[in-house]
Amino acid sequence: MSDPAANAPHHVAIIMDGNGRWAQQRGLPRLKGHEQGAESVRAVMKAARDHGVRILTLYAFSVENWSRPAAEVNGLMTLLPRFLRKHEHLLHENGTRLRAIGRLNDLPAATRKDLFRVMSDTESYTERQLVLALSYGGRAELTDAVQALAHRVRSGELDPEEIQPETITAHLYAPDLPDPDFMIRTSGEQRISNFLLWQLSYAELYFAPALWPEFREEQFAEAMRVYAGRQRRFGGVTSC
């Protein structure tokens, strides 16, 4: 039997779309969709491990999501700590480091407390990483990076002529992370919605028809099969 990790992407990023629609189709509150979606996170964490994926980045809450109804936002901010407390053991069992990117100071103090505790407790793990994009936006990340660079230029620490793509990367939220190889978006929508705008430059994109609460091990395996059939050229050419 072939090794499923042989052709696996090293870093997979996922836009977890469709929780609200899943709930509405069933006459349920939107928060129920998010709760069911949390179970898909657990399933996909396992599937990613089984397929040899080392880094999994999940678009959990965007900067634009703060404009949603207060009840939904508050529910999401309490759902995250509950999920961490319930599934933290999986991170330890699988040697997975939890990280977060975004404007984390925007999160409620109680949410940050649980998030930072689990991040601290898992920071020594090197086998795998789970990265949560929280209060995250690609334009916000680039804006923050440009502001940091501008401060360095103004202080005389950095010459504008020295700024290269690598310089910008070094000022992103997690500059040590390799760019995603593969981006998955669920629910059939075909856009990247302000997600990892810099990092997705050469990623393979895959748009799954399933709503996120329906995206489980089988759907992840299908995405991996599609990726295995892709040919990544990074702007170059390959022989036929």
Residues tagged active-site = 17, 65
* Cβ atoms 138, 203 nearer than 8 A: no
Residue 230: burial class (beta carbons within 10 Å; 0-12, 13-18, 19+) = middle
CB 135 within 8 A of CB 101: no
Contact 141, 104 (CB under 8 A): no
Give the number of residues written for the chain.
240
In 3D space, the residue among 146, 91, 148 whose CA is nearest the CA of residue 122 turns out to be: 91
Spatial distance between the Cα atoms of 50 and 44, rounded to a whole number of angstroms: 10
Closest to 84 measured CA to CA, from 50, 107, 66? 107
Q: What is the CA radius of gyration of the chain?
A: 18
Separation between Cα atoms, residue 5 and residue 224, nearest integer Å: 10
Q: In the chain, where does DSSP find H-type helix?
A: 19-25, 30-50, 70-93, 109-122, 138-154, 165-169, 217-228
